[in-house]
Amino acid sequence: MSALLKNVTNCIWHAFDSLQNKAAVVHKSKLKVLTANIGTLLDLYGVEKGLDHFKSSQELSFDEFRYYLQHEVFSSLPKTMTLPVIRDYEKKISEVCWLVCRKNLVLRDKPIFSDDSVLKLFRIYCLLADLVQDADNTEHYVVVLQPSEAGIVAEQLVHCLGLRWDAADWDALGTSIGHFKWAAFLAVLEAKYCCDQQLHSKALVEAVDEIYDVFIEDIIKKGYLFKRGYLLPTMREYWCVLQPCALTYYKSSSQKEQCGRINIDEYCSVEASAGEGKIQRFQLVTPDRTYEFGTQDHKSRLQWISAVRQATAVSGGAEGYQRKARACRRGAGARREREARDARARLQHEVRARLAAEAQAQELAELAQQDNKKLEELKSAQTELEKLLQEEIQAKRDEEIVRALQARVLAEEWERREELERLQEEQNRMLEEERLKRKRFEMLQAEKEEQYREAEKRLKELEQEKQRLDDELKAAQEKINKTELTAKALHVQLRDMNPVLRNGERVRRAISFVPTTKSSSDTLIDVRAIRHVMAMDDDEKV
């Protein structure tokens, strides 16, 4: 896992630095031991055997060793691991590296911190430091701590010891030293802030433990809290430790007997709640259940609520809270550096602009001198021009007299022109009226022609209708004639037939009495009339 290797790179570099020779390389046999120990801590066995076949040389530089660790050791770990697991691996690897480089890192003339405190300060230093190339030899690396980051650790230590922090003094010290290496960082902490003989060794241990909890364990806040029981609704007091991923509570501040652990993520929330008595209560709402806590006063409740909200905000991801804060500080520092560079660039631009303005001012002064000379020349020319001006004035007066005469002539001409324009307007008006009359006449003529065409069209339609009706009448008459001929033929046939002729005679007589109706299609005989005539005939016979 590349994130884990990135977190422990500074510790591994210190171990590598204690093993390297003057050429900044380490023999593979020494690196095998270090690699085997790291692999054992990660539950990976036999990872050191690949060093024999890695590179043809028997010595490796730090870049080569880090490449081997990344691709042959840490790549075997799961891609996603929880933050407690990563923190546990970091602690074990740091302790192994400390065992390798401890002999070189704890050597000093007047030690003040205990070895355990020095190990904790070493882990804090590796957390906040940067691995950069050495200024003297670009092929080598060195771990250095920025003055701002070192100042944060020193300030925390001073506050834990109950001393007064002087920021101006630290800024001056950081400016003089520059980047802090491990030996300089430890020497400054011991010689400047912990050399007071009144400080007890136990106070130093507690102060180092306090800042170790803040930077390494990512403890945001700890202290006593009242917690409501799950089965019994009583409020019991516990020692609570708040981290970005969990809120752990113990029986006492020694943190030896853990009573419970509440996982915290971005889905958790905290809010104040009303309660009875002197206990100031608040609730921690998780996806599983809701926990109720209480403090002795309102101020402590606000502090715990703020701390829990901060923990939920930074709970996501596999990176610790202090590493995220360090990245934010680096980003802010980079922005400040960019702003400073921009300010310097603006200052240089202003300096160049000022120099350019001064040069321009000098050029303007020279131009002013030249203008003064030209001014004197212009004054002499002005006197000559004034004489010419008087002559010109006299000429203008004469010209004005002539222009007055011309103006009188032009006025008369203008009056005649206005008269002509008036006559022309009247003529145009009369022409316009004549044009309108002609247009109306043309419109009337067009309407009459249209009516004439429609009348002709209607006459043709009437003639066609008359011809059609004549044709229909002629056809009807022909059908009537055919019907009469048919009736006569039927009469002859009926007369020549069997005794039913008498009935036929009756039918004929009936038909002769029945009128026929003429239509455009056929001649119809009223059957009911025929039957009526035949009935009358029978009555006569009777």
- Is the Cβ–Cβ distance between 324 and 314 less than 8 Å? yes
Mean pLDDT value across residues 285-294: 91
- The whole-number pLDDT of residue 423 equals 92
**Confidence check: pLDDT of 523 > 50:** no
- Residue-averaged pLDDT of the chain: 84
**Confidence check: pLDDT of 521 > 70:** no
- The whole-number pLDDT of residue 198 equals 67
Burial 325-345 (b: 16+ CB within 10 A, else e): ebeeeeeeeeeeeeeeeeeee
Q: What is the pTM of this model?
A: 0.60
CB atoms within 10 A of CB 458: 10
Mean pLDDT value across residues 402-411: 90
For 24: left if phi > 0, alpha if psi spans -120 to 50, otherwise beta; the answer is: left
Instruction: Decide: residue 255, CB within 10 A, 0-12 exposed, 13-18 middle, 19+ buried.
Output: middle
- The whole-number pLDDT of residue 532 equals 61
Mean pLDDT value across residues 489-512: 64
More confident residue, 430 or 84: 430
Where residue 503 falls among pLDDT bands split at 50, 70, 90? low
- The whole-number pLDDT of residue 103 equals 87
Please choose, from the candidates 4, 73, 5, 1, the residue with its C-alpha nearest in 3D space to the C-alpha of residue 319: 4
* Cα angle value 211/213/218 (rounded, 5°): 115
- The whole-number pLDDT of residue 542 equals 42
**Confidence check: pLDDT of 270 > 60:** yes
- The whole-number pLDDT of residue 160 equals 87
Output DSSP code: residue 515. P
More confident residue, 307 or 178: 307
Mean pLDDT value across residues 509-525: 47
Mean pLDDT value across residues 222-247: 89
**Confidence check: pLDDT of 305 > 90:** yes
- The whole-number pLDDT of residue 249 equals 93
Q: In whole angstroms, how far apart are CA 516 and each of 40, 475, 531, 533?
A: 133, 16, 15, 15
Where residue 531 falls among pLDDT bands split at 50, 70, 90? low
**Confidence check: pLDDT of 507 > 60:** no
Share of the chain above pLDDT 70, in %: 89
- The whole-number pLDDT of residue 42 equals 86
Domains along the chain with CATH numbers: 2-215 (no CATH), 221-319 (2.30.29.30), 497-541 (no CATH)
pLDDT tens digit string along 310-340?
888 887 766 777 888 888 877 776 777 778 7
pLDDT tens digit string along 410-452?
999 999 999 999 999 999 999 999 999 999 999 999 999 999 9
- The whole-number pLDDT of residue 328 equals 82
**Confidence check: pLDDT of 239 > 90:** yes
- Is the Cβ–Cβ distance between 182 and 143 less than 8 Å? yes
Share of the chain above pLDDT 90, in %: 23
